[in-house]
Amino acid sequence: MYCLIKEWPNKMATLMTEDGVVLWTFSNVEEARKVWHDWCSLQNDRITCQIGNPGRSDLSEQSIS
């Protein structure tokens, strides 16, 4: 599964799927990453968990295990 974290100007962060479905909004990026990491851990490595962080104009991709 591939997800994105969008950081807003007020420092809140939205976790969403690559096709734009919003999963949840958090108070900051670190909280969003922790929730994503915890969810991936619960999946027992059955799927590859990837996360992107769309900056101002680019997407970066990281594997979280």
pLDDT digits (tens, 9 = 90+) for 10-61: 999 999 988 889 999 999 999 999 998 888 888 765 555 655 655 433 333 3
Whether 65 maps to a domain, the answer reads no
Contacts of 10 (CB under 8 A, 6+ apart): none
The domain tally of the chain equals 1
Whether 23 maps to a domain, the answer reads yes
The answer to whether 63 and 50 have CB atoms below 8 angstroms apart is yes
Whether 64 maps to a domain, the answer reads no
The two structure tokens encoding residue 45: 């490595």
| Domain span at 30 | 2-56
Whether 52 maps to a domain, the answer reads yes
HEC secondary structure over 1-65: CEEEEEECCCCCEEEEECCCCEEEEECCHHHHHHHHHHHHHHCCCCCCCEEECCCCCCCCEEECC
Whether 61 maps to a domain, the answer reads no
Whether 20 maps to a domain, the answer reads yes
> Which carries the bigger pLDDT value, residue 17 or residue 63?
17
